Structure 1
Amino acid sequence: MLDGLTARPVLAAVVLFVTYPIFNIIYNIFFHPLAKIPGPWSWGCSRFPFIHALIKGTIVHDIEKLHRKYGPVLRIAPDEVTFAKAEAWNDIFQLRQDHQQFLKDPVWWKAQPGQPDSLLSAINPDMHARIRKLLVPGFTPRALRAQEPIVQRYVNLLVERLTERVADLGKESKGKQVEMDIAPWFQYATFDIFGDLGFGESFDCLEHSRYHPWIELLFNSVKAAAFVISARFYPLVDGLLMKCIPPSLKKMQSDHFQQIVDKVQRRLNWELERPDLMSHVIEVSKSNEGLPIGVINSTFAILTTAGSETTATALCGTLNYLVAQPITLAILVKEIRDAFPSGDNMTLDALKDLPYLNAVLNEGLRLCPPIPWVLPRRVPVGGDTVCGVWLPGGTPVSIQQWTLNRDPTYFHSSLSFCPERWLPEASSNPKSEFFNDQRQAINPFSVGPRNCMGQHLAWAEMRLILSKLLWNFDFESIEGKTFKWEELRTFLLVEKKPMEVRINVRPA
């Protein structure tokens, strides 16, 4: 009798263990508040397909295929919805009258245990506003004008180093056409620029024509971050994962962060005044309005990546399309070389006025968004509507820029690289094939109170780097060594492939 009594709880536990997943799947498919949102049942009943795509790096491509099949409003997990509609920008990211703010999803945005908040990880709007207020003076157009000599210095150094590299490769190839991987050079330049503007010292990537160890470790950790995020969907797994991290890896992460801490400290102790991103932080830190040093350290560690890798991605993608379309490339080269008799008088203000340059970069940002998937926010308590669809409070919602930017209902020849769609006549002439393009759907720097405050610097770098390269060098694609941007995997950043091009110094 005692054995029977003992066996009943065990049997009940086994039955519960076996049946609970089944009942959970049935609930998610038929009775969940999101059950009526279009999407494949496999993604709607379990988080596993989402995690599988995230870890593989195919998530934006997989979701694009699902959007094409199920429409612009898509259920991608039992409790999550993503959008590929222009209206979602306003509904999710803007402050709407009589609506609560959609806050960042902690699964994606919260700081690592033991780390202070940063500009990106601060979920509380008041804390975010406080950090942003301190930083924004260094990112205004006025600040950029004072920072231009620093930006010019590193772009000129990029040209100098590339010229030397082409000469060296020319000697090695014994007269054959020079071929090289251009992709790392964009990152050398953008990381060096931000290093100088942020800390008063570059990463010396251009000086040594190689990545700084800090940057190499950053790129190597991107895939691991996908696993960390995946574990956060399961708190027990997340807790176990954190406990299983080897001490050697924890020390490596600590040392990696400490390098930024040291750079920040050196800049804070530098008595020389200069017009960089840290100058206002230093000024305010002398008063009671300053931020804790931990917040400053974390913020500049994040900004170093956000302010460098994304710009390099956009430039790499744009040039990849240009070399594949020689006619488009020739039009842009002519505009730049006609506008500037010498590369030395190429200023940021003058570059703003080149219509085809701006059109090319806008088209590059459309097809190669550095952030292909705008990470989730949470629907506020009590529920709210996005694109006319009511969603319960707590639902993670996101925007698929990759899908939206390629939507044929928004753009004519949506998969083709066509800078002409961004020229003034495209929107003013009803006879233009691009007249009905929905250009307002493209927001590579996001919108609302958390939009990218570094967009003026990013535009300046993109215009100047691309123009200087095309003024000084001739580029061609190499048959058999090209790749399609759509083939690249996306983790938290876009994974790069070698971008082999044929490059020659422009004849004098």
Structure 2
Amino acid sequence: MRDVKKHAQRRKLFARPFSKTVLRSTWEPVVRGKVQLMISQIQKDLTTLGVCDVFKWSTFLATDVSAHLMFGESFEMLQRGEKNEYIRILESVIQGSGILFELPFLGYIVPCIPLQSVREMFGNGEALLRYGQSLLNNSRSNSESSRNIFSGLVHASEKDGASFNDIDVAIEAGNLIVAGSDTTAVTLTYLIWAILSRPKLHTQLGNELATLRENWEEGDLESLSLLNATITETLRLYGAAPGALPRSVPEGGVTFSGYYIPGGVTVSTQSWTIHRDPVLFPNPEKFDPSRWLPGDNQASEQARLAMSPFGSGSRTCLGIHLSWMELRLATAEFFLQCGNVKWAPSVTEESMKPKHFFLIAPSAHKCKITLAT
């Protein structure tokens, strides 16, 4: 959305339901329940199969959470242990969009390619929209499912005289599921991988989690310095969307660092390079949570300002508080209930090397754990 006023109006509608206060008071029990279901499925796989794919269950968790909040009903991927049609189409569209972003000329060639797989990757936007509208209709017809973020948004938009119709809702819901599913799943996978790969960190984190009160909540986790430092360092090195974020220069142009940029020119930043700047982050490829803890190694104020895994400014990711809630809850529950695990032999530095489209993912698209002996 390029119009500044329309964007500000739309973002204002989303501000309250995605605030930390509302998420904790309204949605924490839902998120917590799905995290616990994920943990039980992981434990079941470890018991029956001997191995478990953390990436798979992280994806199911993040997607079910997003769907429940957006549509008022879960996709039940955690219960079924498999992706549904909406997510299959969504992943295909994401992959195709990432390729077209880098190679826009393919948009003229793709319609001439008679392969079904290619057509699915680059031509499923309309199918995604239809599916989203169907989900919205289903949620409205079910009183149990009517409690969702968009039901309140539609009412608020009508009250304020804003335009927010069913198509807008379906598009925004789809966008937010994209923003909140694979992104959180990728970060959670790399987070668990980073901790299990470092026995000392694993032990220290376990000791910190052991200090939690009996009926702890997500707010209690916010005070755990090592847990939050480890999440932040994971977001620095393995932020799920490290690619270019294009923006249009306003009319009249701007002067930036001594360079004049004309209005209408597309500019972009990308966090992958910024987060690996050795001036800001000494030894930048090293996974080091102590950067975010008090001490001699603490990151500078400039480095903290440069951290942008969720973007920055007026277009910062709306789901930042939801993502942090999921990452905190899932990490805490995992290491409290699945402490006796290790990486399966198939997990290597090469298999975990990030593979880029618009989002990153482990090259193997799997990340398996097994019980430690």
Normalising TM by the smaller chain, what interval? Answer: 0.7 to 0.9
Of 279, 298, 304, 1:434 maps to 298
Residues in 2 aligned to 1:188 and 1:480: alpha-carbon distance in whole angstroms: 21
CA spacing shift, 1:226–1:311, aligned 2, 3 Å = closer
Q: Could you tell me which residue of structure 2 aligns to residue 321 of structure 1?
A: 194
- Whether 1:165 aligns to 2:45 is yes
CA distance in 2, matches of 1:492, 1:185: 21
Say if 2:186 and 2:361, in contact at 8 Å, map to a contact too.
Answer: no
Taking structure 1 as reference, are residues 395 and 253 closer, same or farther at Cα in structure 2, changes over 3 Å only? Answer: closer
Native 8 Å contact 1:482 1:500 kept in 2: no
Cα displacement string for residues 228-272 of structure 1 (whole angstroms, at most 9, x for unaligned residues):
33453x5xx645645768897488553333221111223344556
Aligned to 1:491: 357
Root mean square deviation of aligned Cα: 2.7
Match of 2:241 among 337, 358, 371: 371
Query: Cα offset for 1:275?
Result: 5.7
* Partner SS, residue 409 of structure 1: coil
Aligned pairs for 1:11-410 within 5 A: 122-144=1-23, 145-169=25-49, 178-230=50-102, 232=104, 234=105, 238-239=107-108, 241-242=110-111, 249=120, 253-271=125-143, 276-284=148-156, 287=159, 288-341=161-214, 345-410=215-280
How much identity, in percent, do the aligned residues show? 25
Deviation at 1:436, TM superposition (A): 4.3
* SS of alignment partner, residue 489 of structure 1: strand
Q: CA deviation at 1:273?
A: 8.5
| CA-CA distance at 1:394 after TM superposition | 3.2
**Which whole-Å CA distance do the structure 1 matches of 2:251 and 2:17 have between them?**
35
- Deviation string 1:69-112 (CA, Å, 9 cap, x unpaired) is xxxxxxxxxxxxxxxxxxxxxxxxxxxxxxxxxxxxxxxxxxxx
Pick the aligned partner of 2:284 from 402, 410, 414.
414
Aligned residue number for residue 67 of structure 1 = none
Give the superposition deviation at 1:377.
1.2
Structure 1 residue 413: Cα displacement: 2.4
Name the amino acid aligned to 1:499. Answer: C
SS of 2:211 mapped into structure 1: helix
- How many residues are aligned here? 364
Letter in 1 for 2:354: L
Question: Per-residue displacement from partner, 1:474-507 (whole Å, max 9, x unpaired)?
Answer: 23234563225873221112133211222469xx
Measured against aligned partners, the alpha-carbon deviations of 1:424-478 in whole angstroms (never above 9, x if no partner) come to x23xxxxx13364722210222222111121111111110011100100023234
Partners of 1:142 and 1:275 in 2: CA distance: 17
Contact residue 89 and residue 124 of structure 2 kept, 8 A: no
Structure 1 residue matching 2:6: 3-state secondary structure: helix
Task: Quote the offset at 1:213 in angstroms.
Answer: 2.4
- Give how far 1:185 is off: 0.8
Cα 1:320/1:213, change in 2 over 3 Å: same
**Residue 370 of structure 2 corresponds to residue 502 of structure 1:** yes
Deviations 1:40-94 (A, max 9, x none): xxxxxxxxxxxxxxxxxxxxxxxxxxxxxxxxxxxxxxxxxxxxxxxxxxxxxxx
- Gap change, CA 1:275 and 1:252, over 3 Å in 2: closer
How far apart are residue 306 of structure 1 and its match?
0.4
CA distance in 2, matches of 1:272, 1:460: 24
Hey, what's the Cα distance between the residues in 2 that align with 1:273 and 1:320?
35
CA deviations on 1:142-186 (whole Å, 9 max, x unpaired) are 2112211111111111122222222212xxxxxxxx333211111
Change (3 A) 1:243 1:385: farther
Q: Deviations 1:307-361 (Å, cap 9, x if unpaired)? A: 12111111111122112211111111221123245xxx23111111111110110
Contact 2:290 2:297 in 1 (8 A): no
Query: How far apart, in 1, do the equivalents of 2:313 and 2:283 lie?
Result: 29
Larger Rg: 1
Structure 1 residues 180 and 269 mapped into 2: Cα distance closer, same or farther (>3 Å)? closer
CA distance in 1, matches of 2:319, 2:262: 33
SS at the partner of 1:390? strand
Compared with structure 1, are the counterparts of its residues 367 and 302 closer, same or farther at alpha carbon in structure 2 (3 Å cutoff)? same
TM-score calculated relative to the size of structure 2: 0.88
Q: Tell me the amino acid that sits aligned with residue 217 of structure 1.
A: I
SS at match of 1:202: coil
2:249, 2:351 → 1: CA distance? Answer: 33
Determine if contact 1:313/1:494 at 8 Å carries over to the other structure: yes
What SS class does the counterpart of residue 267 from structure 2 fall into? strand
Does the CA-based 8 Å contact 1:147-1:275 persist in structure 2? Answer: no
Contact 1:159/1:469, CA 8 A, preserved across alignment: yes
Q: CA deviation at 1:368?
A: 0.6
Per the alignment, do residues 503 and 466 of structure 1 end up closer, same or farther by CA in structure 2, a change over 3 Å counting? farther
Q: Return the alpha-carbon distance in structure 1 between the equivalents of residues 225 and 251 of structure 2.
A: 45
Contact 1:405 1:442 in 2 (8 A): yes
Provide the rounded CA distance (Å) in 2 between the counterparts of 1:199 and 1:183.
24
Q: 1:387 to 1:326 in 2, by over 3 A?
A: farther
